[in-house]
Structure 1
Amino acid sequence: MAEAAPPFDLRTALSRELCSSSGQYAAPLGDTTQYLTVLGGQIASLAISPAVKALSFYWGSIDNYNTVSFFSGSALVASFTGSQVPAAPADGSQGAPTNNRRVSFGFDGAAIDRVSFASSSNSFELDTVAGAVPEPASWVMLVAGFGLVGAAARRRDPTAVAA
């Protein structure tokens, strides 16, 4: 069974914000907590331990100049820009739900131990990074195992109790 990873701590990241700065950065839609801002020309890296096979985060004002890259050791596993997020116009709209949402990435079994967030212009805003939950096959095996234990317990002969 895949181990569920806790949300990762962004408190040590480059810039944490509670407010917006016109022309610089803005809180992801509906976010009232501190969030990570990666200003133009910067990269924020997040080490992940234990490694995960899927990752999600709340991406605010998705822009085509934002890039997220996933690594296993020093090997690049995958890289995506805001324009590759399905149904997102990637125009930086700060008030549109399609441009401010949780995005999830899977890696065909590769274990990810580092992710980088880069922006070539202002800004890449994100919050609430979370690792994978157990895969559906793991849940099926767990439920089937409980079912077999229950069936075995039900088939047992009742024990006679002497009085």
Structure 2
Amino acid sequence: MNAIPLDDDSLTWGVPSRRIAAFLIDWALIVVVTMAVSLVFGVIHVMTLGLLHGPAHLILIIGLIYEAGWIASPAMATPGDAAMGLSVRRSDDLGRPTLVQAIAFTGLLYLTLAAGVIWLAIAFFTHRRRAIHDMIAGLVVVRAGALEWRRW
């Protein structure tokens, strides 16, 4: 599928620092989306005198839907990842991630963040600069520019 070998270090060089910046961009976008949805649910709550308050708890999974939806999309990257020139791929053949892999990747990311951010530092020391949630989900974050055909 690709002219670049899977073990080529150029695919993941500089990825950890770019992932941090991409996470901050995505975090800001998730906050904006969550605030907008919260306002909508607030208006619905007031208009129905609290009868439709139950669906308001769905705002807790907005981050999961946002991340997993973008990763499983044809873009294979969240807007933050795309801005930083990153792409999320399957680790075995660099193909498009499945929805199940994207959900596992995102859910495990949030569990890792809840357990302590220090666990993300493993990405600086592993092969292909993969974090724990990357390895469990079977995904790898690569530089999108390194996947393009090189012209000599």
User: Shorter chain as normaliser: what TM range?
Assistant: under 0.3
Hey, which of these two has a bigger chunk of strand by percent?
Answer: 1
Q: Which has the higher contact order (CA 8 A, sep 6+)?
A: 1
Q: TM-score of the superposition, structure 1-length normalised?
A: 0.23
